A and B are shown apart, each in its own frame.
Chain A
Amino acid sequence: RLIYELLFQIIRKALTEEKQVSTKTSAADLVTETDHFVENLIISVLKEKFPSHRFIAEESTAAGSKCVLTDSPTWIIDPVDGTCNFVHRFPTVAVSIGFAVNKELEFGVIYHCTEERLYTGRRGQGAFCNDKRLQVSKETDISKALILTEIGPKRDPATLKLFLGNIERLLKAQAHGVRVIGSSTLALCHLASGAADAYYQFGLHCWDLAAATVIIREAGGTVIDTSGGPLDLMSCRVVAAGTREMAMFIAQEIQTIHYRRDDEN
């Protein structure tokens, strides 16, 4: 818990200051010093306490670390989820820490920095937000669904056409609405709390999925691959919903936007 207090102070402070911003894979894929600083802090603190554990983290991967999940106890970290929001001071920013052993996701923690909400999930022990138990929505009908998504980093014309085309299909199916808040982990937490009925995205990463998957499943929800098959943590795509029916409907409706896998070289 102490680590979080420190981290959140850092991020909150950084949220009010000027930022040096760079880009990664595209003009919309941003990173700042705070991303690096927070990641290094988390990893060094954990390494000290658990010297044999492994790490998969966003900025280390960008710097060249391999993104392969082994059987070893592994921490899967997004130091600042919603970096674009962070840069703009759009108040939806989170720290996400997931943990896997024998390639199985064991627990996850997501902290909403400006709202001071801590989402947690431990396999077999339920999911919570600040001690309140989380329960997904039981909606199965697309025409009563509130859906969340994110645009993803690719902005080429073909990708945009597919992205907007997917929204068009869901609106035509009479979904109540589609929301975009700029942080995939927090959007997935809204799903876990029952405030939305489904989430889908192409172009997110294993460090966005690791913690949220446990939280959603422990809240009673379904997390699968966009093909309708089981979740593939390194595939950079996901469909999550309160019910299996909702998840399968969306998986069938949406067209694939291709992204390189996290474990591809």
Chain B
Amino acid sequence: MSDPWQECMDYAVTLAKKAGEIIRGALKEEKSIMIKSSPVDLVTETDQKVENFIISLIKEKYPSHSFIGEESVAAGEGSILTDNPTWIIDPIDGTTNFVHRFPFVAVSIGFVVNKKIEFGIVYSCVEDKMYTARRGKGAFCNGQKLKVSGQEDITKSLLVTELGSNRDPETIKIVLSNMERLLSIPIHGIRAVGTAAVNMCLVAAGGADAYYEMGIHCWDMAGAGIIITEAGGVLLDVSGGPFDLMSRRIIAASSRPIAERIAKALQIIPLKRDDATN
């Protein structure tokens, strides 16, 4: 029996490649920067252009499918996940990096049916690394199979996370105290490259042992989440419970013991869910 979603996936890879070209071109130019939820939550015309590009081409080919895209949601579109085949899109993950020309910028596309992630694509376009995963078929980067590190000992771990775009003093305090607790275990170190999707792909490739963050959105996690699980890793909620795509938070790790140890160390930041109706 043939794979009903393989065609969608192949199409998504083509779109991600083309989007990456648009982004690389825009990187060389001056940028008009706007802000969203805070003075450090940046967006540019390129974010909007790339998202419109991707969504319009998918709509043409698959008119019955649903969409949750970062810039569409910012413009007022809904972000409730139904059972309908749904494309969850971040046109530029790492917009702050993009604005500065810091070379970690990715297009992220996750495809969800019956609320289950079927495939994910993350194209780190400056590095020209195409990360992909199809449920049950493994995870790859530029054709090379990916495998997580398998590390189970937190004291030998390298973690990835971000400081986030929330500058509320209370939130900053929690973010930094979480880092303090983890660094004190001790661990080998913490890295932050500036995009959730690329951070997660680094874990999937075995270059780091876990990623955690609170405050990101479903479009940051939908593409890379399945890349991690197909590379042998685990996804967990920061509370230690099962991962929830609309919860605004994630632990993505090379092993369950590492994920659980991180969950133990984290103080939770209260956040509005992506599918909240008010």
Contact = CB atoms under 8 A, between A and B. Distances in A.
A172 B172 contact: yes
B183 A151 contact: yes
Given A160-B180, A164-B179, A174-B39, A182 B194 contact: no
B39 A177 contact: no
Interface size class of B (residues with CB under 8 A): 35 or more
A155 B169 contact: no
A47 B188 CA distance: 35
B100 interface: yes
Interface stretch (B71-79, B131-139, B202-210, B241-249): B202-210
A195 B96 CA distance: 11
B192 interface: yes
A155 B188 CA distance: 10
Contacts of A196: 100, 102
Interface in B148-177: 149, 155, 158, 163, 167, 169, 172-173, 176-177
Nearest to B155: A27
Contact of A174 (B40, B155, B192): B40
Contact of A194 (B40, B101, B184, B194): B101
A167 B175 CA distance: 11
Which of B127, B179, B189, B208 has most chain A Cβ within 10 Å?
B189
Which of A137, A176, A181, A194 has most chain B Cβ within 10 Å?
A176
B22 interface: no
B40 A168 contact: no
B99 interface: yes
B206 A89 contact: yes
Interface string A230-258: 00000000000000000000000000000
Interface residues of A, number: 39
Contact of B192 (A88, A160, A175, A178): A178
A179 B103 contact: no
A90 B100 contact: no
Interface in B58-100: 96-97, 99-100
A91 interface: yes
Interface in A132-186: 137, 143, 146, 151, 155, 157, 160-161, 164, 167-168, 171-172, 174-182
A180 B190 contact: yes
Given A88-B208, A161-B180, A174-B167, A28 B39 contact: no
Contacts of A27: 155, 186, 188
A197 interface: yes
Given A88-B188, A164-B179, A195 B163 contact: no
B191 interface: yes
A180 B167 contact: no
A190 interface: yes
A14 interface: no
A118 interface: no
Contact of B103 (A143, A164, A176, A195): A195
B42 A155 contact: no
A87 B193 CA distance: 18
A30 interface: yes
B102 to A, nearest CB: 5
Closest 10 CB pairs of A and B: A90-B207, A146-B100, A164-B176, A88-B158, A195-B102, A180-B192, A195-B101, A89-B207, A177-B96, A155-B186
Interface of B: 39-40, 42, 96-97, 99-103, 127, 149, 155, 158, 163, 167, 169, 172-173, 176-177, 179-180, 183-184, 186-194, 202, 205-209
Interface of A: 27-28, 30, 84-85, 87-91, 115, 137, 143, 146, 151, 155, 157, 160-161, 164, 167-168, 171-172, 174-182, 190, 193-197
